[in-house]
Amino acid sequence: MNGNEALGRLRNTKGADWVRAMQRHYNETGTYRTEDLERLLGDPMRGVSHHLSFASPRNASFEGLQEHS
């Protein structure tokens, strides 16, 4: 499979049921439901901090991912 075929397949996927329901709701109302936004973006009352490790420039990784309220 080449890049164009892969891109075509991605464009033709229907997506998860909840994503289609979210899109349908938005098309009908012009708004997103709170539960859909939280599922996409996470809880707005909680933060996430991370520290990047550049021990090897080719293998930069996230270390110490922490969620806090």
E-assigned strands of 1-69? 47-53, 61-68
> Which two tokens mark 40?
């996409």
- Find the range with the poorest average confidence among 2-6, 23-27, 28-32, 58-62: 58-62
Q: How many CB atoms lie within 10 A of CB 22?
A: 19
Predicted confidence at residue 59, as pLDDT, reads 56
pLDDT for residue 21: 93
What is the C-alpha separation between 26 and 48, in angstroms, rounded?
Answer: 28
Structure-block tokens of residue 53: 């490790």
User: What pLDDT was estimated at residue 3?
Assistant: 83
In the chain, domain spans: 1-32, 44-69
| 68 pLDDT above the threshold of 90 | no
Structure tokens at 61: 């990784």
pLDDT in tens, 12-46: 887 889 889 999 999 999 999 999 988 888 777 77
User: Which ranges of 30-67 would DSSP assign to H, the alpha helix?
Assistant: 34-41
